[in-house]
A and B are shown apart, each in its own frame.
Chain A
Amino acid sequence: NAGVMQNPRHLVRRRGQEARLRCSPMKGHSHVYWYRQLPEEGLKFMVYLQKENIIDESGMPKERFSAEFPKEGPSILRIQQVVRGDSAAYFCASSGLSKAKNIQYFGAGTRLSVL
């Protein structure tokens, strides 16, 4: 059973470019969460999605950031017109249908560097 797959692992962008981060949840999981981690910090929640629905986007910056989880294919976190402050590790997590435990399994992350 493959784990949560994220790609790319490393992404370098120049200021003003777009960044697209992909996340395929674990098989059988329908809940996807995106988190951002700055150096020496804990993870900060960004958005929670189920298939074709955004459930909670309270942690998403109001501008330039968007996320989707289409019926087919991976979840995408999109950052438009990147700035240096967007440099961080972005982690995706997925969980299954068990509401009782809600164990979130994390991918290896995408490390975004903005030049």
Chain B
Amino acid sequence: ELKVEQNPLFLSMQEGKNYTIYCNYSTTSDRLYWYRQDPGKSLESLFVLLSNGAVKQEGRLMASLDTKARLSTLHITAAVHDLSATYFCAVDMGYGGSQGNLIFGKGTKLSVKP
């Protein structure tokens, strides 16, 4: 059974600081997704990582994927209050191009304080 573990689960940061969220998964997969969820809202797609060594950046967020280590990271640079949300990583159960359901981590609840 595929397991996806995120850490930390809770993260309180000061504005302007940097931090990294980690996502480990237990079996082979070649695609990983990062989503953001604001309280009471739906999930917004942030990044799609499709190959080993993939790196994507959008604003203050940067995501990377190491399929050999089964690890993805979401790096936050110079955090601002607007980044406060819960961030989920999700691994696609399909492999090699097949369509599959997503297995989600428990989420990292990020709070950025002034």
Contact = CB atoms under 8 A, between A and B. Distances in A.
Interface stretch (B56-64, B70-78, B99-107): B99-107
Interface string B36-67: 00000111110010100000000000000000
B101 A56 contact: yes
A contact residues, range: 20 to 34
Given A100-B50, A102-B31, A102-B100, A42 B107 contact: yes
Given A42-B107, A106-B43, A33 B101 contact: yes
Interface in A9-51: 31, 33, 35, 40-45, 48
A56 B90 CA distance: 18
A108 interface: yes
A54 to B, nearest CB: 12
B92 interface: yes
Interface in B2-34: 4, 31, 33
By Cβ-Cβ distance, the 8 closest A-B pairs, closest first, are A42-B104, A45-B101, A106-B43, A43-B104, A108-B42, A106-B42, A42-B106, A99-B97
Interface of B: 4, 31, 33, 35, 41-45, 48, 50, 88, 90, 92, 94, 97-107
Given A43-B104, A91-B43, 15 more contacts: A31-B99, A33-B102, A41-B107, A42-B4, A42-B90, A42-B107, A44-B104, A45-B102, A48-B99, A48-B100, A48-B101, A59-B101, A91-B42, A101-B31, A105-B45
